[in-house]
Structure 1
């Protein structure tokens, strides 16, 4: 029963964060300097998924979102949807970067459990939500469009201020949530069990301790009756 309840809770969390990522696409997109890759708020949802669900469930939430997009649901920012946005569009690499980014954020977050620390959360969200997403997205643009690698890297620079703000927001929110609900994410590697050093067994004594002789029975008058070796004098 407990395992079934845990599975239902995990599925609910995955569905909620997949919906959150989709909802953050409602405000639409913003294109800067003619860049084909738009600015969206959905990166914030990816950071929150990894920070609050961990590596496995965070990645599954993003995978659920991407599966719905592939089925044609207009869940990407600006009401876009369809398999082409995950295969041939210039922004497809960033969508796959969402998946890897959520996993990395969750993995790093699990390492600092059971207590979420703001400074480490900033590092985790910056590495997974910015560095990993940018790396995969830039490589996709470079390989898929034939653009110069330097040009692709420079174009990514326009996203940095907004993404830095998202890193701060996601980390602050995660800090408050983990403080209110401790134990939300389990540590990746549990602490090593405590090893108790057993004291060595005492070495046997070279000579056995002397034993006291058995008590001799006494007569009713209080005198000891020594029957051993006694002869009848009569």
Structure 2
């Protein structure tokens, strides 16, 4: 019950973030960039202070290296293979279909969900709750930005909300898959944790940081990144 609740809570962040976007018509690029950077800080801290140390406790540097490299490679392959387009700066909004945005979100949310499921399957009782909470926290600004993008591109508000909520469902399903695979093959838990860390670091460096620096807001985005990092480190220490 506790495990299922944690999985649902992490996915619920996307839905909670989408709700205020239904009431707002215009948000400056500075606010968007700062939200993205804050999310990036949370994800880096979750990887560096939760997933990676737990992998090393369960295994060794070889497993960590393999898992991170495989996670990075899989995300790279998914980005190449799956047809998607990020809601990037300078993109022609009129040309971007909702399906492409959902595909982009799926690329982000699949490894996040797997990391939650694998974390709950590990022998560290507090790790699942910590990773679930951290992913849910960074899903709030992510859900807000995606829903806002759809609304500002003339997608009906209810439809935009349902699209965004669907990406949360994808993460929830990914969490359950990660949990079931880890239950059946406990030996893959450390690989799964390292895989999730590599995938999250890929998303941060490839997507979130470049996107947050796309409109000349590098300085404020940098501070937002650091604040997100510190916030997650603080939460990590509270759980220890």
Considering only CA atoms, is the larger Rg found in Structure 1 or Structure 2? 1
Give the alignment's TM-score, normalised by structure 2: 0.32
Give the alignment's TM-score, normalised by structure 1: 0.33
Higher relative contact order (CA 8 A, sep 6+): 2
Bigger proportion of residues as helix: 2
